[in-house]
Amino acid sequence: MNEISNIFGGRVLIIALDGWTDAGMASTGAVTYIKDKLASDLLVSIDDQDYFDLLRQRPIIVLDEHGERDFVWPSLELFGPGPKTPIQQKDLSLYFLTGQEPALQWQFLITELVEIIEDRDIEAVIMLGSLAAETPHSRAIQVYKNSQSASVRNALGIERSNYDGRAGFISVLGHALEKAGLPTISIWAQVPHYVASMPSPKAALALVNDLEIMLGFTVDHKEILDAAFEWERSVDSFAEGDEDLLNYIAGLERSRDEAEAEEMTTDQLALEFEKFLRQNEGDSEPPKN
């Protein structure tokens, strides 16, 4: 755990962007929940319209308390500790980059972002994502980690991503940050594909939990727990009237349960083997039947 703290301590940036890598709005939901609970302050807003395609990323009309109309334009926003942010861990300061995935001039924007991040002495970067997968909504959300950084892989016992295909902006930015000398890690939550178009607070909660365990901080879970419970109940209700969907979900549940049972059996065998080695430590003769 100390080795993890050495890498993901100090000033840590967590990135989640709305778009292709945000199924169920889980990653942006997790970042928004944490930054709000930590009373983070807005430090930088990048709303240069040269970076966004307004035919796809249209501005949003909002009404103030007097009914006056205004527009919220697509942007990227960097948040950081504010005067009301609780100090939970001596050397940990969390920063958040969130907003809409840019559509244009990625290379120029990445250069700008790397400079902004370096100016704030960020020491490590966590990139959150969520993907649509063949997984049941009624089981725990699975979370996976990978890293291109050898030090991170060694500390957490995770693998390098072998993905070969189209990339999102967050992956390109992560690559640039690695080249700039910052250790990075990607954390992905799986969202049931049959409800991936609606917000999934259960997947967002899974990412929040994972970040808390890895970084050693806590936030109040009540609101997101309630939302996750209501989400699961609403999906249950949605599926009740569709026999084909119910059968499909039941099949996903069986597959997950069988896979976890097999994994548990393998883990138990490994533990028994380790126990055997400890009990027979120092023996020069093989065990007798």
230-to-32, 192, 224, 252 alpha-carbon distances in Å = 19, 16, 10, 21
Q: 210: which residues sit within 8 A by CB, 6+ positions away?
A: 143, 187
End-to-end CA distance of the chain: 40
> In the 8-state DSSP scheme, what is residue 159?
B
Give the residue extent of every domain in the chain.
2-219, 241-279
* Sequence-separated (6 or more) residues with CB below 8 Å from residue 246: 239, 240
- DSSP tally for the chain: helices H, then strands E: 8, 9
In the CATH scheme, what architecture does the domain 2-219 have?
A: 3-Layer(aba) Sandwich (3.40)
The sign of the CA dihedral 228, 233, 235, 236 is positive
**Full pLDDT tens readout for the chain, 289 residues:** 566 777 888 999 999 999 889 999 999 999 999 999 999 999 999 988 899 988 888 888 999 888 899 988 899 999 999 998 887 667 899 999 999 999 999 999 999 999 999 999 999 999 999 999 999 999 999 999 999 998 899 988 898 888 888 888 999 999 999 999 999 999 999 999 999 999 999 999 999 999 999 999 999 999 999 999 999 999 999 999 899 999 999 999 999 999 888 776 655 556 555 655 565 555 545 444 4
